[in-house]
Amino acid sequence: MITGQDWASYQPSSPSTKGIDFAIIKATEGTSYTNPRMTSQAATARGAGLVVGFYHFLLPGNVQAQAEYFARQAASQEYDMLVCDWESSAHGSPTCAEKDQFLKAVQKLRGSNHRVLLYCNRDFWVNRDTTSFAADGLWIAEYNGRPGKPSIKAPWLIHQYTDSPVDTNVANFGSRAELRAWARKGAGDGGQEHEAAKPPAKPKPAPAAKPSTYRVRAGDTLSGIASKHGTTVSKLAALNGIANPNVIRVGQVLKLTGSPAAKSTTYRVRAGDTLSGIAAAHGTTVAKLAKANGIKNPDVIRVGQTLKIVK
């Protein structure tokens, strides 16, 4: 868990940030009050690299106007947390319905790139709440001397466990970076997560189909063709029954994929062929070819000579 504080005008304009990872600052109350130290306090928190949030003290009545006032006056930047402070005051206590209305109004106004949370004490949550709606997360206040262990069954994000010497909280995250990443998710109406201001991903173009054949051009070599098409000379030679990899003809159509060429029973010798190359191309040996074709000198074969292929 990580530690944070919430600040109001009772705190100095530049509170200490030592040992904390987040600060949630009072912004507004009702439709006329703005914390005079809010801007300076926010700058202090940002300067220390803290995760920042702002809260509005909700009063009974004029809920939509209060939400709009909060949205205008809060010194928030994109992805800062926005909070409804639901509790009693000299003006009375907002109802659960007013709490829900305010949260949903703020989500509609700012929810595309801000998390919206509910702050209340345990009594309000257990005895006055009837909907369990806390927008994107619940910030619960209970001074029970057990940081991170509020006595409620509902999931919670932040626990305010003391107000001495300043309101202090723990957040249910492993690090400041985790809280910041969560805050950057944004939220839509009803607290449903979505990426804020993120354009729909463009579909990736389908990869171009690889050619299955290649027609030999002037200047081509088998090694060059193999390199260009991601294969090897030996594979091309086997696929196309090429006895001499150094000899290919302009206009010849070579297979690039598929099964090796069917082994023929005869082969007509071409210029540049060698008996060893013919044997390799047909999966046999020089000795077998020489014996089958009455060749006394394996180094001497004639262009146009038809050889029997034996295994």
Tens-binned pLDDT, residue by residue, of the chain (311 aa): 999 999 999 999 999 999 999 999 999 999 999 999 999 999 999 999 999 999 999 999 999 999 999 999 999 999 999 999 999 999 999 999 999 999 999 999 998 899 999 999 999 999 999 999 999 999 999 999 899 999 999 999 999 999 999 999 999 999 999 999 999 984 443 433 333 333 445 566 767 677 888 898 888 888 888 888 888 888 888 888 787 888 888 888 888 888 765 556 888 888 888 888 888 777 788 899 899 889 999 888 888 888 888 87
Distance CA 62, CA 215 (A): 79
> Strand runs (DSSP E) across the chain, as ranges?
2-7, 22-29, 33-34, 51-57, 81-85, 116-121, 138-141, 158-162, 168-171, 213-215, 253-255, 266-268, 306-308
* pTM of model > 0.95: no
Which residue has tokens 């998390």?
115
| Token pair belonging to 123 | 């009594």
Name residue, tokens 């020089």. 286
